[in-house]
């Protein structure tokens, strides 16, 4: 199976955020909010670091 870097990043973020949300918070509402927060941080930081590497390479 060949997927793009961004797809791999999104899948990785989705699975990791799900586990982080469930294990790091006590109530379902807090779990959902923390999971979304982690997902946004994973994907956002991935995009930021990707652009940084792009400008370093060029």
Partner 1 sequence: MASPQTTSNAVPKSSANQGFVYLPLIAGWLVPGAGHFLLGKWGRGALLAASVVGMFVIGLAMQGQLFSNVHDILDLLGFVGDLGNGLLFLVGRVAGLGADQVQITSQDWGTRFIEVAGLLNVIAAVDAHNIRTGRKAA
**Alpha-carbon radius of gyration of the chain:** 14
Q: Minimum Å distance from CB 55 to partner 1?
A: 21
Instruction: Tell me if 56 sits within 8 A of 43, measured CB to CB.
Output: no
Q: Minimum Å distance from CB 23 to partner 1?
A: 4
Q: Minimum Å distance from CB 58 to partner 1?
A: 20
Contacts to partner 1 by CB under 8 A: 1-3, 5, 8, 11-12, 14-16, 18-20, 22-23, 26
- Nearest 5°: the CA angle 44, 56, 17 is 20
């Amino acid at each position: 199976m060949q997927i793009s870097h961004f797809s791999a990043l999104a899948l990785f973020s989705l699975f990791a955020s799900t586990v982080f949300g469930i294990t790091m918070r006590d109530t379902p509402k807090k779990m959902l909010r923390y999971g979304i927060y982690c997902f946004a941080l994973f994907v956002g930081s991935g995009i930021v670091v990707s652009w940084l590497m792009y400008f370093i390479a060029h």
